[in-house]
Amino acid sequence: MLFWQILIDGFAISSLYALGAMGFALIFGVSGVLNLSHGALMVAAVVAAWAAGNDLHAGPYAGAAIGLAVGFGATLLTYFVIVRPLQQTRKIREEEKEIFILTATLLWGIMIQELIAYLYTNNAKTVAPIVEGVVRIVGVRTPSNEIFTAVVCWLAIGVLWLLVNRTRAGKAVLAASMNPRGVTLLGIELSQVYIAVWAIYGVLVGIAGVLLGMFLGVSSYSVGPLTASAFSIVVLGGLGSVSGALIAAYVVGYLETITAYLISPAYRTIPALLLLVAVMYVRPRGLLGRR
């Protein structure tokens, strides 16, 4: 019974983690940017969906659409206001740009967090789920929302896979992650590829955010932990490897669920952190990393 419960709960949480980390991994793989405002963008999507339902009395579908739109908009704003100017400036040396992008996105994330706390307080917010009710799977009472979350996550991941591996634009993205200069030489505009990748990232942030809001709920305090969990999943899987991130999301998701059920919810994040430290010492490039 407990075994099945852990298996089902862990699967839903892991799928959500995978979707959340996927965009983060994609951005790093293609443009080498670690976006430390990741968690803030997701929380912005959740709060938008919540506010739409609460203040504007929008239905669950309209609320989800608004959350998605805000997540998408905030992500593109991050790219055009923060990341792109830093990538193109001549005031900072090339080898220091990485550090500046880290610092700037970190500041940007905290600004979003402070603004949300100011406008909508620090209270936890849960978005009204699109599907309600409970179903029994092998004797375990499972909220339909949990199944819905897992299904949507896997659909989104599947579409992303098709997009990257089966379309021309997607192949350009893949090529840019392997050799940016080679792509430029083939006559593909690299900045167009970056904009496309950030747009995909924005959609992923929106979907993952809204699902997170329906499943677990967030508060403005979730910003740091959300970024940290995406960061650790991506490092565990290997920076730049999307399939590595997928595997790592399941490892972390199940490790947390098992700890929460068998030991205590208070210790939930500790084993995953220990595993991460061990991986950093033994195999710094992660499970499937290539750099």
Kindly list the residues in this chain that would bind another protein in the complex (CB under 8 A). Answer: 34, 82, 85-86, 89-93, 95, 98-100, 102-104, 106-108, 110-111, 114-115, 117-118, 224, 228, 231-232, 235, 239, 266-267, 269-270, 273-274, 276-277, 280-281, 284
Nearer to another protein among residue 4 and residue 118 (C-beta):
118
Phi, psi torsion values for 241, nearest 5 degrees: -100, 115
For residue 28, what are its two tokens? 């790093």
CA distance 26 to 131: 30
For residue 148, what are its two tokens? 């819905």
Nearer to another protein among residue 111 and residue 186 (C-beta):
111
Return the DSSP state at 122. Answer: S
Quickly count: other Cβ atoms within 10 Å of residue 214's Cβ. 27
What are the start-end ranges of the H helices in the chain?
2-31, 38-54, 60-77, 84-88, 94-120, 144-166, 168-178, 180-185, 190-215, 223-237, 242-262, 270-282
CB of 13 to another protein, least distance (A): 19
CB of 69 to another protein, least distance (A): 23
Q: Contact 209/43 with Cβ under 8 angstroms? A: yes
Report residue 142 CA to chain centroid gap.
Answer: 24
- CA-CA distances (angstroms) from residue 287 to 35, 233, 238? 21, 10, 6
CA distance 215 to 13: 9
Angle at 160 between CA 174 and CA 154, to 5 degrees: 140
CB of 68 to another protein, least distance (A): 25
Nearer to another protein among residue 75 and residue 232 (C-beta):
232
Nearer to another protein among residue 113 and residue 145 (C-beta):
113
Nearer to another protein among residue 103 and residue 179 (C-beta):
103
CB of 231 to another protein, least distance (A): 6
CB of 92 to another protein, least distance (A): 5
CB of 181 to another protein, least distance (A): 20
Nearer to another protein among residue 31 and residue 232 (C-beta):
232
CB of 249 to another protein, least distance (A): 16
Nearer to another protein among residue 127 and residue 276 (C-beta):
276
CB of 43 to another protein, least distance (A): 15
Residue 137 pairs with which residues in a beta bridge? 140
Residue 54 pairs with which residues in a beta bridge? none
Residue 142 pairs with which residues in a beta bridge? 135
Nearer to another protein among residue 141 and residue 283 (C-beta):
283
